[in-house]
Structure 1
Amino acid sequence: MEPSSSPIGMKMDDSQPKLIQNWHKNGECPQGTIPIRRTQNHVLHRTFPFHQQGGQHYYPFGQLLGGHEFAFVTESGSTYHGAHASFNVWNPKTQANEFSLSQIWVMSDITTRNAIEAGWMRDNYHITGCYDLSCPSFVQTNHKFAIGSTIKPVSTYKGKTFDISILIYKDNNSGNWWLQVQDVVLGYWPGSIFTDLADSSTVVAWGGQIINVRSAQHHTTTQMGSAHFPSERYGKSSFFYNLKVIDYSNIQQDPASLQPYVTNSACYDLHVEENTNTNLGTYF
């Protein structure tokens, strides 16, 4: 199954590195099948998985959950049929029972539990919900990529950066929400699993999140993104660029009025840049 349409004007950058996973050296799955990451009961630590979620979820930004900290930007005020961004993959350190992620959120409103989320995660967390293919909602259609497996390469401080492009968009004919990473269409969330998102989204967000369980009775040392503040600029700080929203006519648009949101600027922060470089689009 393939999407019947894709956003008008949305062109993925062919110069971006292809997604590489360790299991590729052993071959690939045949057409008509998908790779599934083997889960072992004693393995709770997952490094750099690409993760996706959909349906009813538990991150209502309007009433911040205890222990969750964010640095993200939102776009609202209209109806959206998807979103896009390119952003760095890093190797943040995480304490036990915590995670750090960078992702896109597509939500029906700011206080909803009806959301689609996709990005990468450094996971050292005892998961209480579900991610990747452990959720019954996401339908994978691509046989070359194992969702939840390690992503390589990752960015290095003052060194080379590795970016991924993620596109989430609604197929207006089927009502399904499709996920594309780099130039690879991975699969879709069926429109039938949603209530508020059955028609469209009213809020899109991009950015980072960590969980702070205060296990040592003080603020966590878990890092977000590159673990360096935005004042250090590109190559040192985590970077999101080419932010786009998909409108009701399936046309990509620049965000009109980004709103930054930071829960604890002493620990995690962001800075939205003016669009002075057309190759980067809207970025922070």
Structure 2
Amino acid sequence: MASMRLIFSSLLFSLLLCSIEGRNNIPLTEEEDLELENELQSLNKPPVKTLKSFTGDLFDCIEMYKQPAFDHPALKNHKLQIRPSFQTKNNVTMDEKIKSLLDQGFNDTCPLGTVIIRRTRKEDLIIAKELPKYFRNNGSRYHVLDSSEQNYYAIAESENGRYHGFQSKVTTWALPNVRPNQVSQNQVWLMGDVDGDYDDLNVIQTGWHIDGYQTGCMNLNCKGFVQVSATLGPGFAFTGSDLSTYGGKQAYFGFQILKDPERGNWWLSIVDRNLGYWPKELFPNLDVSKLIQFGGQVRTPNDVPSPPMGNGHLPHEGHGKASFFTNAQFIGEDNQAYTPGEGSASLKTNADAKYYQVVGDPPSRGSWDVGYGGPGGLVAG
């Protein structure tokens, strides 16, 4: 069963869905073990209430103003934003639309004034210890920090411009054939100043992620994302009923990333509900997004066949049989969503078409659907 894990990367502050097969056999010194225990105490705030999901994970109801985000040094003087300035109200109660998408089997809910946060475990932090040596990733501008690994992508890329966000629906699939130390991700990248120094590049990512080795910081281990929802939070799981079937029912993960025009924070909403936001203080070089990419990407050790991307089928098989971003739209500086026209974006891949493909140039009219993926099996020669 694939499950949803919302991940925040220390390098790029990404938010992803993923199925995880982690490893926790990394040897630790006594000093390292003590350091992890101290970090756990910092991350896991005293809860008002604790809920247990059907997966066995514990979710704590934390007072909104005491969540881990506010331990980030850049947010020392940050004023909490309850809802975007462009919304007049925010309903934080569970409704059937949300419950049918992300039903964790809780027999209770968090009270108002709290946010629901998955409790961090020591094994989450153990796995994260090795992550800095691996990579910084953002689509076709992927930088591998470990030469023993390869990456392949199949994406759509905007022309350089000034964007305030992105929205789309993404088909979600179970994809079990991802080996340990491999990653298959399907997401969007919103990039800041792509013409500047790479080390100064700020990127926001979100999507769904199949991971044989956890990448980035797990859930809220990287402090900074401010959560406002008492019903949705990092670490929730998609069940089998929330996943697409080949040639049958299609399930979608609909999301929007939108810059608040007054406060400058970058808001994330899922199925029309506010999950939270990335404060502007975290992104000194992301006043606007200069480039948007979305599609699929995989990572694999050099001597191991590359994993499937998307649902493992090539996109020319069409809707219902391959992975798609549907009704993809950019958000302009006027904060209005629009479908880019012909010539305003390009399709890119760095692998042979028998392994991975991307299809769906911007249309002259109608909605923009981009298919991507493939069976993988590529071994670096």
Counterparts of 2:365 and 2:109, CA distance in 1: 39
Pair 1:242 & 2:320 matched: no
Pair 1:104 & 2:185 matched: no
- 1:149-228 equivalent positions in 2, closer than 5 A: 149-152=236-239, 153-197=242-286, 199-214=287-302, 217-220=303-306, 222-228=307-313
Counterparts of 2:361 and 2:291, CA distance in 1: 20
Q: Compare 93-102 and 23-32 and name the one that shifted more.
A: 23-32
Q: 1:110 to 1:219 in 2, by over 3 A?
A: farther
- 1:47-66 equivalent positions in 2, closer than 5 A: 58-60=136-138, 61-62=140-141, 64-65=143-144, 66=149
- Structure 2 stretches of 5 or more lacking a match? 1-81, 88-95, 126-134, 371-381
Shift of 1:40: 3.4
Shift of 1:277: 7.9
Counterparts of 1:131 and 1:106, CA distance in 2: 20
Match for 2:270: what amino acid? V
Shift of 1:22: 4.8
Pair 1:117 & 2:205 matched: yes
Counterparts of 1:18 and 1:240, CA distance in 2: 23
The structure with the largest alpha-carbon Rg is 2
Tell me if the contact between 1:91 and 1:225 (Cα under 8 Å) persists in the aligned partners.
no
Length-normalised TM-score, structure 1: 0.82
SS in 1 for 2:316: helix
Tell me if the contact between 1:18 and 1:182 (Cα under 8 Å) persists in the aligned partners.
no
Q: 1:125 to 1:276 in 2, by over 3 A?
A: same
Shift of 1:87: 1.1
1:152-191 superposed Cα distances (whole Å, 9 cap, x missing partner): 3111112211011110010010010000111111000000
Instruction: Find 1:145's aligned residue among 232, 254, 262.
Output: 232
Q: 1:147 to 1:98 in 2, by over 3 A?
A: same
Q: 1:17 to 1:140 in 2, by over 3 A?
A: closer
Partner of 2:350: 263
1:106-151 superposed Cα distances (whole Å, 9 cap, x missing partner): 1114475310011111222143x32431221210101101212212
Pair 1:283 & 2:283 matched: no
Shift of 1:76: 2.3
Match for 1:154: what amino acid? L
Tell me if the contact between 2:247 and 2:320 (Cα under 8 Å) persists in the aligned partners.
yes
SS in 2 for 1:67: strand
Partner of 1:81: 164
Q: 1:200 to 1:251 in 2, by over 3 A?
A: same
Counterparts of 2:112 and 2:265, CA distance in 1: 22
SS in 2 for 1:231: helix
Instruction: Find 1:254's aligned residue among 339, 349, 353.
Output: 339
Structure with more relative contact order (C-alpha pairs < 8 Å, separation 6 or more): 1
Length-normalised TM-score, structure 2: 0.62
Counterparts of 1:98 and 1:218, CA distance in 2: 9
Match for 1:250: what amino acid? N
SS in 1 for 2:104: helix
Size of the alignment, in residue pairs? Answer: 259
Counterparts of 1:245 and 1:119, CA distance in 2: 16
Partner of 2:106: 25
Calculate percent identity across the aligned residue pairs. 31
- Structure 1 stretches of 5 or more lacking a match? 7-14, 45-56
